[in-house]
Amino acid sequence: MYVLHAPWRMAYINQSSSEKIDCIFCAFTKEDNDEKRLILYRGKRAFVMMNAFPYNTGHLMVAPYRHCGDYDDLDGEELLEINELVQRCIKLLKKVMAPHGFNIGINMGKVAGAGFEGHVHVHIVPRWEGDTNFMPVIGETKVMPEALDVTYRKLKEAWEG
């Protein structure tokens, strides 16, 4: 197996348990540093942020501000804004990155793969033909063709444009 070095992850790995954030969605929205936290947009009831450990370049997440673990506990206004933001994310990614398709989903519960199971969020993952090539399948290595900060600037500019 080949090793792909990702030195930026060391800060996360070396955090003591007291430094780890229980819920990134709650913690990050309380801060005033959207670029550092990769927050692209703040709405009235929900917000859009990039995934810092993306499945693919341009991987976005939409979440309500309210700490809520189940999709069926969201109120009507939250549901409406979340779904409008998901649609807006798709349009943004089509314009900026021209993907061939998308995976859109919610992982509810630990067994479903939720990393932050206490705060429901929607993943919008752009997909391209060939993005599941030999590297992740055989080489066990995922190649991200663009740095997060570069992708953030492109998407933020297009969102505000």
pLDDT, tens digit, 9 for 90 and up, residues 67-115 = 999 999 999 999 999 999 999 999 999 999 999 999 999 988 788 777 7
Residue 31 lies in a domain: yes
Structurally, the chain folds into a number of domains equal to: 1
Given a cut of 90, whether residue 156 has pLDDT beyond it is: yes
For residues 71 and 61, what is the distance between their CA atoms, to the nearest angstrom?
14
The pLDDT mean for the chain works out to 85
Given a cut of 60, whether residue 1 has pLDDT beyond it is: no
Burial 23-40 (b: 16+ CB within 10 A, else e): ebbbebbeeeebeebbbb
CATH number where 114 lies = 3.30.428.10
Given a cut of 90, whether residue 47 has pLDDT beyond it is: yes
Active site residues: 121
pTM for the model: 0.79
Give percent of the chain above pLDDT 70.
80
- In sign, the C-alpha dihedral spanning 157, 131, 99, 119 is negative
pLDDT of residue 87: 99
- Show the tokens assigned to 61: 């997440």
Give percent of the chain above pLDDT 90.
60
- Show the tokens assigned to 130: 């060939």
For residues 36 and 17, what is the distance between their CA atoms, to the nearest angstrom?
21
Residue 3 lies in a domain: no
For residues 11 and 75, what is the distance between their CA atoms, to the nearest angstrom?
36
- Cα torsion 39, 102, 115, 25 to 10°: value is 20
Domain span at 111 = 20-160
Residue 128 lies in a domain: yes
Strand, helix or coil for residue 104: strand
Annotated binding site: 51, 123
pLDDT of residue 144: 73
Annotated binding site for substrate: 51, 123
For residues 83 and 134, what is the distance between their CA atoms, to the nearest angstrom?
34
Residue 6 lies in a domain: no
pLDDT of residue 14: 62
